[in-house]
Structure 1
Amino acid sequence: MFTQYIHQLINNFDQKKTMDQLHSLVSTKEGAIGLATAAVLLSGAAFYKSTKVNRGCPVVPAGLFTLSSTAEYRQDPASFIKKWQKELGPVYGAHLFGQYITVVSGSQVREVFLNEDFSFIDGINRDFDTYLLANAGSFHDLPTSTIADGIKKNLSPKLQFYTGRVIEHLKSALHEQCGVVPNEGKEFDHVYPFVQHMVAKASASVFVGVELAKNEALVDSFKNMVLEVGGALGPKPYMEYFPNLMKLHMWYIGKTSKNVKRHQDQLRSALKPEIDARLKAMKEHDEQWVRPNDFLQDLLETDKCPDHIDIYSRVINWMTQIIFAALHTTSENGTLALYRLLDNPELFEDLYEEQNRVLEEAGYDRSVGPEVFTREILNKFVKMDSLIRETSRLRNEFISLPHMNTGNKTITLSGGAMIRPGENVFINFYANHHDEKLQKVTENINTFEPFRFVNQDKNSTKVGEDYVFFGMGKHACPGRWFAVQEIKTILSMLIRDYKISPLGPIVFPTSDYTRIPTGRFKIVPRK
């Protein structure tokens, strides 16, 4: 009975009643010990149950003592995938990450992405629930479908309008990062903080407006919330074996972390006066008021705030979800792309000449700066776009993108694999992105070829079985156009204004605990 109670408690974790029950439970030593014991028992029971059912596909043998293949996978993810793909085929089962999962690759990934009973959000929330982790309200009050609709309606259609603003704030952020660069150049230890600050400042100008983008505390939250709050989760490999403790861990961080409180306070302090001023002007139909053109204003005019939530908390919850969903990944992917360039420094001049050709065709002199870039011009940088897609294709992403069967019936894939309600499918990202047939490549499939996709009708936002980085179908990442344009603008702007070179070797990680390469670099102003 006790384990059943805990199981129900965890599965309904986002309800206030559950929170109160859980707080009462863990406030005593006996309750905390009982909770941990129940989690272990549940994990063991789940494993035992998973070995007694027909899966419709071959299964990777689990470790004798750990009852899992997680240790083998973590040691060398690429080798794990190659080994079991060869022995078991494109779809197989495995005991990974504290659960039984079905690993899917090849054409059957489409069946996962397009089946409405498979939910990525429910899959990912098991181990990374941003609502709990950042104490950002409830999924029921602000579902991801609402966020996706807001992005599709209020962000993607306005990219042309926002391009100039983004460039202006990227230049401002660049100056804040490095000041006036002398003729002999300036050296930097790492790309990520360089890109991160630019992404945070430019994104803030779009999401909360140009005035709030000057607020240093708010920009700090746009930059560092994910790293400081999400970083508290791990990596903690032992937690993978006891997944029922993960939600408790995330809830505890959200409720007790000083970083969570600091970032929420910073967002509230910056946003509250601006929200008050805008709502007052709207209510009084102030003719002197100039309507701000940003995502925040669109929210205030179109979002339906539930009665039990104040408008400030509602906007903070929105911004928190956007920060977690978009800003860190954009900074990460921009960093990866710039490191790919640093690892192949001859590409800088090739891309610079592409810019000159496109700008001359648009009627500009080759001496102009990046301030003339528009969305149309950026879209014509096809070599740059190919480089971004190739960078994403070769990310050290392996088995990821969990999708949970949220229906009440077993789902059977075309190859016979059966996924029961509550079970997860993971996409074999690595296999599809290194599949010669899907990529239509006969050689160098594992090599970085920056211009592989030029004139191939495969731009960096076009999803498919051969490119699952942004998902697929109607639930594919709705913010990918904004993210790619921001990365393309950052790289193009840097190339336009500076000569960039590595200072020593560039090291790309091979595990999936981190995506960020390392290496020093130098920028020198172009004459």
Structure 2
Amino acid sequence: MNLTVISGPQIREVFTNPAFSASDAIESITRISSYFNSGRKSNRNYGNHVIQDLVRDTTRYLPVFTPKIATLMEKGLEKGIGHSPEKGGAQLVEAPFPMIRNMLVNIMANIFLGPEIAKNPKVIDTIWDASSDLRRAFINSSIRVSKWRAFLDRTHLRLFQPLMKRAQILAEAATPVVLERRRLEALANESGVAWERPDDVLQSMLEDSSKYGFEDLEDVCAHISILAGAYAFAMADTATNILYFLAAFPECVEKLYEEVQQVLDAVQAEREQTRQEYRMEGKPIDEALDPAHDRDMSVEALKRMVYMDSFLREVFRYRIEHLRIVHLAMEDVTLSSGIVISKGSAVISNTRSVHHTPEHGDDSAEFRPWRYAEKHKTATKIGPDYLVFGMGRRACPARFMNIQGLKMFSAFIVSKYSKLEIQDPSRTKAAIHSRLNDPIDTGVNFYSRA
């Protein structure tokens, strides 16, 4: 694969030109469709958009999933990190990445399959394996893949069908639960009462099977393996890196902690005012206004954390690899600069040319966590100056769920711990500049607030 580096205005030109394809480039590098087709029975034609549609549809349920994610994340952090038994002592986590990924695998199993199915240890192991499959595909692949290597990879997937094995395990665990759901739904319909519908992704995908073209439960579970595994490995990478940034820039911890408390105080006061108004008007106070949930990490509370959002956007901007996001030319293209990209050749973006420019400030080479706090540029806001999630119609639809999960993760960390330290200080620079999906091997010390 011939490779041309593009910079500055040429990047936008390539991103908005339909003659260039990012998905075809990813396929040529990772052979990812061969992995998908080793398990799914439908949507096997290359170029279908079912995975993207599922991601977008899942994002719509974020308000429903958020309380569950918050509860599971808080429990997961308590189990994975805990607190030092000594006052002022530190709790060392020697391997943050697998700890975080294990927590996220459990979260994804619960919101995609429901708590009953997620209780099965085989299910948790299977989602973990699915996340490992995808991580290997994106880490071990080289831009310059030989035809022989690509042939071997595809042959291996056809012979061993790893995704099919994942789907079969999940389907076996899900079958009795799905049958019981159908029984209860039929019983409710016969009795003329409302059925208490499970609010997990599995139920939505089963109800919309014809829309997505799924053939059976195994097929549904293959797609769940892809989605849950992808979210787990992608979010675990960035969440781990966030820990290193909080340790490398300790002044961020208190600022973020103060914002979290101020936001939760404001939400709590507003909810109490609403309850008082309800009492004055004689209205019943429903479960949604239960004081026990006043300080939850809700969608509304997370949305108000503008300094947290700025911190995340700056972590992405500062950390992102300088050469990334490959596009394949589907026909001969002449760029405005006069450079000719021939059909079958690839271009790779020099993101430094847009992420480290005066547009971000004269100090764009430095890490400035509050750079975007007053600029109304959120961590999900894409554009020619921020290529973390792509641009235009090809932008990553999973960014909304990822960013909300990362904001929640960061809010819990700064709320529970007053200071973080990298176990090996000499690895600090390597930690904050680590390659995507390739975290370094040093631990983190967590100093508890209480």
Residue 483 in structure 1 maps to residue 402 in structure 2: yes
Offset from partner CA, 1:390-434 (integer Å, 9 cap, x none): 11112252322222233xx42332222333333322222233222
Query: What corresponds to 1:33 in structure 2?
Result: none
**Structure 1 unaligned spans of 5+:** 1-98
Residue 346 in structure 1 maps to residue 247 in structure 2: no
Quote the Cα distance in structure 1 between the aligned partners of 2:342 and 2:75: 52
Query: What corresponds to 1:223 in structure 2?
Result: 128
- The 3-state SS of whatever aligns with 1:379 is helix
The 1:390/1:253 distance shift into structure 2, 3 A limit, reads farther
Query: What corresponds to 2:446 in structure 1?
Result: 523
Query: What corresponds to 2:377 in structure 1?
Result: 458
Offset from partner CA, 1:339-391 (integer Å, 9 cap, x none): 111111232112111112222222359xx999512111111111111111111
- The 3-state SS of whatever aligns with 2:156 is helix
Residue 300 in structure 1 maps to residue 206 in structure 2: yes
Quote the Cα distance in structure 2 between the aligned partners of 1:264 and 1:229: 15
- The 3-state SS of whatever aligns with 1:463 is coil
The 1:279/1:410 distance shift into structure 2, 3 A limit, reads farther
Quote the Cα distance in structure 1 between the aligned partners of 2:100 and 2:69: 13
8 Å Cα contact 1:148-1:478 kept in structure 2:
yes
C-alpha displacement at 1:501, in angstroms? 1.9
8 Å Cα contact 1:399-1:428 kept in structure 2:
yes
Quote the Cα distance in structure 1 between the aligned partners of 2:256 and 2:139: 38
Residue 393 in structure 1 maps to residue 317 in structure 2: yes
**Structure 2 unaligned spans of 5+:** 271-291
Quote the Cα distance in structure 2 between the aligned partners of 1:130 and 1:283: 40
Query: What corresponds to 2:335 in structure 1?
Result: 413
The 1:441/1:271 distance shift into structure 2, 3 A limit, reads same
Which of 348, 351, 357 is equivalent to 1:429? 351
C-alpha displacement at 1:323, in angstroms? 3.6
Query: What corresponds to 1:30 in structure 2?
Result: none
8 Å Cα contact 1:378-1:488 kept in structure 2:
yes
Query: What corresponds to 1:147 in structure 2?
Result: 51
- The 3-state SS of whatever aligns with 1:127 is helix
C-alpha displacement at 1:155, in angstroms? 2.1
Quote the Cα distance in structure 2 between the aligned partners of 1:419 and 1:269: 49
C-alpha displacement at 1:232, in angstroms? 7.4
Quote the Cα distance in structure 2 between the aligned partners of 1:493 and 1:111: 40
AA matched with 2:361:
V
Query: What corresponds to 1:170 in structure 2?
Result: 73
C-alpha displacement at 1:257, in angstroms? 5.0
Quote the Cα distance in structure 2 between the aligned partners of 1:380 and 1:523: 26
C-alpha displacement at 1:103, in angstroms? 2.2
Residue 446 in structure 1 maps to residue 386 in structure 2: no
Which of 133, 149, 152 is equivalent to 1:249? 152
C-alpha displacement at 1:172, in angstroms? 2.6
8 Å Cα contact 1:130-1:324 kept in structure 2:
no
Offset from partner CA, 1:420-471 (integer Å, 9 cap, x none): 333322222233222x14x33212x222211111111211000111110101
Within 5 Å, which residues of 2 pair with 1:44-123?
99-123=1-25
Count of equivalent residues:
418
- The 3-state SS of whatever aligns with 2:443 is strand
Offset from partner CA, 1:78-124 (integer Å, 9 cap, x none): xxxxxxxxxxxxxxxxxxxxx11232221222222223332221110
- The 3-state SS of whatever aligns with 1:155 is helix
AA matched with 1:481:
F
- The 3-state SS of whatever aligns with 1:211 is helix
Residue 193 in structure 1 maps to residue 98 in structure 2: yes
The 1:417/1:282 distance shift into structure 2, 3 A limit, reads farther
Quote the Cα distance in structure 2 between the aligned partners of 1:244 and 1:419: 21
The 1:328/1:261 distance shift into structure 2, 3 A limit, reads same
8 Å Cα contact 2:325-2:348 kept in structure 1:
yes
8 Å Cα contact 1:110-1:465 kept in structure 2:
yes
Query: What corresponds to 2:386 in structure 1?
Result: 467
The 1:513/1:349 distance shift into structure 2, 3 A limit, reads closer
Query: What corresponds to 1:48 in structure 2?
Result: none
Within 5 Å, which residues of 2 pair with 1:245-324?
245-257=148-160, 263-279=166-182, 285=189, 289-304=195-210, 310-324=215-229
Which of 124, 131, 134 is equivalent to 2:26? 124
AA matched with 1:254:
L
8 Å Cα contact 1:203-1:327 kept in structure 2:
yes
TM-score, length-scaled by structure 2: 0.82
Alignment RMSD (CA, Å): 3.1
8 Å Cα contact 1:113-1:473 kept in structure 2:
yes
Instruction: Pick which of 125-134 and 464-473 moved more.
Output: 125-134
The 1:108/1:272 distance shift into structure 2, 3 A limit, reads farther
The 1:280/1:105 distance shift into structure 2, 3 A limit, reads farther
The 1:342/1:325 distance shift into structure 2, 3 A limit, reads same
C-alpha displacement at 1:132, in angstroms? 1.7
Offset from partner CA, 1:162-212 (integer Å, 9 cap, x none): 211110111232243245653544211132123212222222222222323
C-alpha displacement at 1:251, in angstroms? 1.7
Quote the Cα distance in structure 1 between the aligned partners of 2:197 and 2:293: 30
Quote the Cα distance in structure 1 between the aligned partners of 2:140 and 2:238: 20
Query: Percent sequence identity over matched residues?
Result: 25
- The 3-state SS of whatever aligns with 2:442 is strand
C-alpha displacement at 1:514, in angstroms? 5.5
The 1:241/1:474 distance shift into structure 2, 3 A limit, reads closer
The higher relative CO (CA closer than 8 Å, separation ≥ 6) is in: 2
TM-score, length-scaled by structure 1: 0.71
Query: What corresponds to 2:298 in structure 1?
Result: 374
8 Å Cα contact 1:190-1:519 kept in structure 2:
yes
Query: What corresponds to 2:284 in structure 1?
Result: none
AA matched with 1:517:
I
C-alpha displacement at 1:282, in angstroms? 5.5
Quote the Cα distance in structure 1 between the aligned partners of 2:106 and 2:388: 25
8 Å Cα contact 1:169-1:202 kept in structure 2:
yes
C-alpha displacement at 1:326, in angstroms? 2.7
Offset from partner CA, 1:123-176 (integer Å, 9 cap, x none): 101121333235233754585522222222x22222222211110111232243
